[in-house]
Amino acid sequence: MIQIRSMKAFKAAWEIKQNWQLLFPLIGLVSLGYSAFKITSLLPLTEFYITIPVAVVLFYVLLKIVMLAISKLESKWIVNQRWELIRIFIVFAITGSSSVLVGRPIIKWLGITQDNLYPLLYWILFMTISLFFYQVLLVVIGWIFGQFQFFWNFEKKMIRRFGLGRFLKD
């Protein structure tokens, strides 16, 4: 695990060359903090002075998990600078949430609810629709974040794993 003692050391550790690139670690930390607070709010804690320390501990645990994942994927994923790994994680997070947000109205528009369909079948359909939109959104959001080539290659690999590789021109 990298210990950072100064901004210069932080920039060197993440291979940050320009100040605007600091935006991605900042977005990552803010998102992680928000996630820790939202997860903590699901717990049956009634006192605010207990909620904050639990959220801080959860933030630390989540940060350790993310840093472990980054260190494991750093050699597997091909990126130009190390900070781009944070950008890739942000794209995955946004895409996962967005695919569910897009899938809900689509399944509702189709008239499918848990009340008129067996619950297991409803969730299978919902996950299938969300997965379809996930594939599309992954490339689009990756392009917005400047990682089109990474996500297009990732998508092609996923399409091949689904057994649909014959539809790709390579």
Please give the residue that has the higher pLDDT: either 82 or 58: 58
Domain limits of the chain? 1-76, 79-162
State the sign of the Cα–Cα–Cα–Cα dihedral 58, 1, 86, 128: negative
Please give the residue that has the higher pLDDT: either 5 or 115: 115
Give percent above pLDDT 70 in the chain: 96
Q: Is residue 8 pLDDT above 90, yes or no?
A: no
What count of other Cβ atoms lies within 10 Å of the Cβ of residue 86?
Answer: 20
Task: Supply φ then ψ for residue 167, to 5 degrees.
Answer: -85, -5
Here the tokens at position 24 are 């991605």
What is the pTM for the complete model shown? 0.79
